[in-house]
Structures are given as C-alpha cells and as structure tokens.
Structure 1
Amino acid sequence: MKTNHPTLYNIEFKEITPDNWRIINSLSVKKEQKNFAASNVTILARAFVYRKENAKVFAVYYSDKPVGLIMQRDWIDGEKIVCIMDQFMIDKNSQGKGLGKEALQKWLSMIEAEKKYPCIQLCYVEGDIAAKHLYENFGFYEIDKDDDEIIMQKDL
C-alpha cells in the first residue's frame, strides 16, 4: 500500500557514489539554518578526515528522491565505543514533512540493532531550537557544552 506520508518503509539510506554525489551536494538547508549546519562538501570532507574512526555518510532518500544526509563515526571513550551522529541535514525543500523524524528514527533503529554501542552522542549549535526539540523527543539529553555547541546523549 503506497502512502503519501513518510514512513520508515520509504526512507532509505544510500551510499554516496560517483553517480549521486552531485545531486547530494546540491541539497541545502534554509537560509536561516546556514549557521547551524555544515555544507554537504564539508560533511563529505569531514567523513574522509575521520575515516579511521569508521566514519560513514549516507544519503537520505525518501521514495527514491535524495532529501538529506547523515554522518556517523565511532569515538573511543575509555573502554567503550560511542556512536557519534556527526552531521544530519534535511534539504530545505523537504523540511516540514516529517522526513527528518522518520530518517532519525530509522537511523536510530539501525544503530541500536548493531548492538555495538552503549550510547549515541551528537551536538547542535546553541540557538537551534528545532534541533534541540527533535533530539529531545528521541530521548537525547544534554551532557556537556563545547563553545557554542551543546552535546547530547541517548543511552541505548
């Protein structure tokens, strides 16, 4: 049964390839969000820099259309490996439709299913109230602050 509403079933994560990187790079956030999100080129470069920390970037697709990006990497904290959601963005033309919530839910389910991590950490830029509320609604809570970034954690 086909639905017009985003669901976990029509959200997919795909590898960035020579065939899709240009269209993925063309995605962007709203003008007023630019101070809160890295550019897609920066996200891809960051993943390259953190490749030894198992960095991965996925294109977020909704019904076969690219709508965003998510980057994750490992971070060793003492004797445990923490999953870092390093970057997450939904294109300005796809915001306000529930796609970010569905993509985040699917990604969290994927990470939890790996049973590799005791927790997930992320950060958002102070003042990005939408990001704060989104993450709080998924069980993330504030654990620290680094300059203008608020660090949050979700225990698995």
Structure 2
Amino acid sequence: MIFLKEVNEGNWYELAKLQTTEEQKKYVAPAVGIMARAYAMRKSRAKVYAIVKDEIYIGIAMVRDMDEYPECYELQQFFIDYRYQNQGYGKTALKLIMDMLEQEKKYNSIEVCVKMEDKPAIHVYKILGFEDTKYISPDVPDAYNLRYCFKN
C-alpha cells in the first residue's frame, strides 16, 4: 500500500538517500535539495512528503501555495526513486497528492512546470487530467505549465 508521510526530523535522512536515474537529474532536484527548497519556501506553506510503500521510502514530493496569479497549489518537485520506477507508484502517489489537496480546498487547482523533453513525466500528468495552460514562462522557456482543476 502506498501512502504519504510528512517529512520530519525522524525520516529526512532516509529520504535524502532517494535518487533518480542519471537522465532525470536534469529535471528534478536531489532529495536533499527538495527539502532545502521547502525550508526556503516555508512562508508559502511549502511541505515535503515522503512517498511510502510498505514502510519503505520510495519517493518524495514538494508542494507549496502559490498566492500570486494564478492562485493554486504548485507541485514543485516530485520523483520516485529509480529502484521503484515503472511500477505505477508515481501515478498512485500523484493521485494521493491530488486527493489530499482537493480535500484541503484552499485552491481549486494544482500547477506543475515540466521540461518539454521529459516525456514520461508529461505522460503521467496528462493521464491524471493535467492540461497544458499554453503559458510559457520567460524564466523557463523549455517547460510546459500543466494544470489540474478540481471538480467542484
């Protein structure tokens, strides 16, 4: 069974050991970098979640509030450790995150910025209902901004 667990002083070290494939390193920060980013963005309610399967840490995700336009949740970072990829865990974990945020109801959507060349990530987001906003940020011109809107 897959579940989410908030990162804390008791589990951060185990999460720091999670790794992506060599190819994915150009798309996502290392786990320690994700935790540091969340600390730096704590005023935006940034939180890091461990993705756990049967008490084994298999992934990590970071979500923050984006209070500027468009107001929404922003999935800043998300990955499944290379040893657990291609088994459906990413899709399951992403759905858990989406459900958790929908229950919170602070915003009506989630956005994620994904590099255009990261086809596997784009595929998973689109399967779960994320759509291209058609907005290309001048800060990240090689990335799509995808949005998922909660059903009211």
Q: TM-score if structure 1 supplies the norm length?
A: 0.88
Question: Could you tell me which amino acid in structure 1 is paired with residue 16 of structure 2?
Answer: N
- From 86, 90, 93, the equivalent of 1:100 is 90
Which residue in the other structure is 2:65 paired with? 74
Corresponding residue for residue 124 of structure 1: 114
Partner of 1:60: 51
Q: Which residue of 2 aligns with 1:139?
A: 129
Number of aligned residue pairs: 146
Which residue type is aligned with residue 131 of structure 1?
Answer: A
| Match of residue 14, structure 2, among 18, 23, 35 | 23
> Counterpart amino acid of 2:124?
L
Aligned with 1:37: secondary structure? Answer: coil
More strand by share: 1
Letter of the aligned partner of 1:153 in structure 2?
R
For the aligned residues, what is the CA RMSD? Answer: 1.3
Tell me which residue corresponds to 2:37: 46
TM-superposed CA distance for 1:15, in Å, is: 2.1
User: What is the distance in 2 between the residues matched to 1:15 and 1:152?
Assistant: 24
The answer for unaligned runs of 5 or more in structure 2 is: none
Give the distance between the partners of 1:75 and 1:145, measured in 2 at CA.
Answer: 17
What secondary structure does 2:113 align onto? Answer: strand
Paired with 1:74 and 1:18, the residues of 2 have a C-alpha distance of: 22
* Contact persistence 2:46–2:64 (CA under 8 A): yes
Moved more, 90-99 or 18-27: 18-27
Query: How far off its partner does 1:113 sit?
Result: 1.2
Q: In the alignment, is residue 115 of structure 1 matched against residue 91 of structure 2? A: no
Distance 2:120 2:36 in 1: 25
Aligned residue identity for 2:148: K
